[in-house]
Amino acid sequence: MIVLGIETSCDETAAAIVTDAREIRADVVLSQLDDHTPYGGVVPEIAARAHLEHLDGLIRRAMAEAGIGFGDLDAVAATGGPGLIGGVIVGVMTAKAIAAARGLPFVAVNHLEGHALTARLTDDVAFPYLLLLVSGGHCQLLAVEGVGRYRRLGTTIDDAVGEAFDKTAKLLGLGYPGGPLVEKAAARATNPARFELPRPMLGRPGCDFSFSGLKTAVRRHVEELGGVLSDTDRDDLAAAFQATVAEVLADRCARAIRRFKEEHPQGGALVVAGGVAANKAIRSRLSILAEKQRMPFVAPPLRLCTDNAAMIAWAGIERFRLGESDPLNFAPRPRWPLDPSAAPVIGRAGVGAGVKA
């Protein structure tokens, strides 16, 4: 089975060719970083126009790299949400056009499910497993019990962890995108223990997260330094922030592991996915936790943590081989929770909007 995947949910335009033998024949991603950096974040209108301008060319390039034609495809999969709706529409309409013209099945993929199932593409991870999904717009702990079967164990009550990285980077004058820049600054720190920061939700019952107070504490330190940071100040504060986030994530995961093991005594892996999963310090801390808990730890390759179309093609394969596809009147969705039965979080109306996943 050969599937074309299309991803346009935020600021990466991507196309990929993947087979049901877990072979990524082509994986093409065009970043819009230079377009959005002057604004300090993703501008939806600019993102949608860039997708429209470049997607056709990226699809042609992916097909050429894979050495196939449209007649070799078995299905077309595209991100149907959640995300910036203008970009999602571009990808969905392009996929529908190809499907209609070639008489192919169309599969609308939940972008978050793409992240959730990536470990099955890269490592053939068996169900069930515990997933920490961390990105710019999402921070959730989920029990993954099958394709389309996700139970949310915890989520953020305010900022997602990726949002916290971006806001902290802005406070430190590091620029955008925040995650990689904070990580680079932290690696240069000479005194990572210099600044004291709160550990939001640490030791609290449940598996929820909170990062808004941590961002506020970073701002206070910046103000105490007079608002003008030396390189040493910036690096040490970035290191303190990163270490705090890693500690909080590990604490919340430890609580989720206990609950997961009670519900699934046969065990399963701890999987981390999403853009923030590319952070090496966080990956290392979670790997240590999994080893202590005697659980396999799986983190996809860095290039498959950030937005890509290979994960969308694979999620399409997972659904298509279960006999699932979508009609051509499918409506793109700005919000699309993985666990629709989970209670909404007060004050987090934007959860699921896909600010940056």
Would residue 298 be called left, alpha or beta, if left means φ above 0 and alpha means ψ between -120 and 50 degrees?
beta
- In the structure, what pLDDT confidence band is assigned to residue 17 with cuts at 50, 70 and 90? very high
- Same domain, residue pair 74 and 156: no
Count of domains observed in the chain = 2
Name the residue type at position 344: P
Residue 179 sits in a domain of what CATH number?
3.30.420.40
Mean pLDDT score of the chain: 94
What integer pLDDT is reported at residue 7 of this predicted model? 98
Residue 146: how many CB atoms within 10 A of its CB?
A: 10
Query: Any bridge partners for residue 14, and if so which?
Result: 7, 29
Tell me the two tokens of residue 313: 């093609």
Write down the pLDDT at residue 345.
Answer: 67
34 touches 312 (CB < 8 A):
no
Task: Decide if 154 is inside a domain.
Answer: yes
pLDDT at 137: 83
Residue 244 lies in a domain: yes
**pLDDT tens string 232-242:** 999 999 999 99
| Tokens coding 189 | 């720190």
Q: Tell me: do 135 and 253 sit in the same domain.
A: yes
User: Is 112 in the same domain as 130?
Assistant: no
pTM higher than the cut 0.85: yes
User: What residues contact residue 75 under an 8 Å CB cut-off, 6+ apart?
Assistant: 1, 3, 4, 99, 104, 105, 106, 107, 316, 317, 320, 325
Pair 59, 133 in one domain: no
Give the pLDDT of residue 354.
33
Specify if 329 maps to a domain.
no
CA atoms within 13 A on the CB side of 76: 27
Q: Are 81 and 140 within one domain?
A: no
3-state helix, strand, coil in the chain (%, to 5): 45, 20, 35
Q: What pLDDT sits at residue 116? A: 97
Q: Where are the beta strands (DSSP E) in the chain?
A: 2-7, 12-19, 24-31, 75-81, 106-110, 129-134, 139-146, 149-155, 270-273, 297-298
Q: How far apart, in whole angstroms, are the C-alpha atoms of residue 261 and residue 290?
A: 12
Give yes or no: residues 231 and 161 share one domain.
yes
Burial 20-57 (b: 16+ CB within 10 A, else e): eeeebbbbbbbebeeebeeeebbbeeebbbbbbebbee
What is the predicted pLDDT for the residue at 297?
98
Burial (CB count <10 Å: 0-12, 13-18, 19+), residue 180? middle
Residue 327: closest CA among 92, 14, 113: 92
Which tens digits make up the pLDDT trace of 229-285?
Answer: 999 999 999 999 999 999 999 999 999 999 999 999 998 999 999 999 999 999 999
The residues, ordered by sequence, that sit 6+ positions from 230 with a Cβ below 8 Å of its Cβ are none
User: For 28-65, what is each residue's pLDDT tens digit?
Assistant: 999 988 888 888 888 999 999 999 999 999 999 999 99
pLDDT at 350 over 60: no
21 and 53 within one domain: yes
**pLDDT (tens digit per residue) in 152-194:** 999 999 999 999 999 999 999 999 889 999 999 999 999 999 9
Confirm whether 142 is domain-assigned: yes
- What pLDDT does 269 receive? 98
If asked whether residues 179 and 75 sit together in one domain, one would say no
355 has a pLDDT exceeding 60: no
List the domain range (segments joined by +) for residue 17. Answer: 2-116+306-320
Residue 170 is predicted with a pLDDT of: 94
Residue 97 lies in a domain: yes
Whether residue 351 lies inside any domain: the answer is no
- In a shared domain, residues 281 and 210: yes
DSSP letter assigned to residue 209: B
Q: Quick check: is 352 in a domain? A: no
Report whether pLDDT(336) > 60. Answer: yes
In the chain, % of residues over pLDDT 70: 96
98 and 246 in a single domain? The answer is no
pLDDT of residue 346: 56
Between CA 25 and CA 20 the distance in angstroms is 11
Mean pLDDT, to the nearest integer, of 318-343?
Answer: 95
Q: Is residue 135 part of a domain?
A: yes
Same-domain status, 85 and 180: no
Pair 85, 141 in one domain? no
Q: What does the angle CA 94 – CA 119 – CA 167 come to, to the nearest 5 degrees?
A: 75
pLDDT tens by residue, 117-146? 999 999 999 999 999 999 878 899 999 999
